[in-house]
Amino acid sequence: MIPLLTAGGHRVIAPDMIGFGKSDKPTERESYTYSNHTAWVKAFMEALDLQNVTLICQDWGALIGMRMVGLYPEKFARVVSANGPLPSSHMFKPELVQMMGQMYDTLPTPGKQDLINAFRNYAPTTFLTWIKYCYESPDFSPRDVMEMSIRGASEAELDAYMAPFPSEEYMMGGRMFPSLVPILPKSADELAINDKAWEGLRKFEKPLITAFAKNDPVTAGAEMPLIKFVPGAKGQKHTKIDGGHFVQDDNPEELSAIVLQFMKDNPV
158 — phi, psi (to 5°)? Answer: -65, -40
**Catalytic residue at 59?**
yes
Residue 150, burial from CB neighbour count under 10 angstroms (0-12, 13-18, 19+):
middle
User: Region 80-100: what's the mean pLDDT?
Assistant: 94
User: For 103-144, how does the pLDDT look when each residue is reduced to its tens digit (9 = 90+)?
Assistant: 999 999 999 899 888 888 888 789 999 999 999 999 899 999
**Catalytic residue at 189?**
no
pLDDT of res. 141: 92
pLDDT over 90 (residue 80): yes
Residue closest to 131 by CA, chosen among 119, 120, 143, 26: 119
Question: Considering 10, 16, 189, 216, which one is annotated as catalytic?
Answer: 216
Which residues are paired to 212 by β-bridges?
Answer: 240
User: For 22-57, how does the pLDDT look when each residue is reduced to its tens digit (9 = 90+)?
Assistant: 888 999 999 999 999 999 999 999 999 999 999 999
User: For 134-185, how does the pLDDT look when each residue is reduced to its tens digit (9 = 90+)?
Assistant: 999 998 999 998 888 887 889 999 999 999 999 999 999 999 999 999 999 9
pLDDT of res. 139: 87
**Residues in contact with 204: Cβ distance below 8 Å, sequence separation at least 6, in sequence order:** 69, 70, 73, 79, 230, 231, 232
User: For 6-23, how does the pLDDT look when each residue is reduced to its tens digit (9 = 90+)?
Assistant: 999 999 999 999 999 888
Domains of the chain: 2-88+188-265 (3.40.50.1820), 94-185 (no CATH)
Question: Considering 49, 90, 195, 245, which one is annotated as catalytic?
Answer: 245
Question: Considering 59, 114, 159, 238, which one is annotated as catalytic?
Answer: 59
Residue 110 vs residues 127, 138, 178, 184: alpha-carbon distances, Å: 12, 9, 14, 18
**Catalytic residue at 245?**
yes
pLDDT of res. 179: 94
Residue closest to 160 by CA, chosen among 64, 20, 8: 20
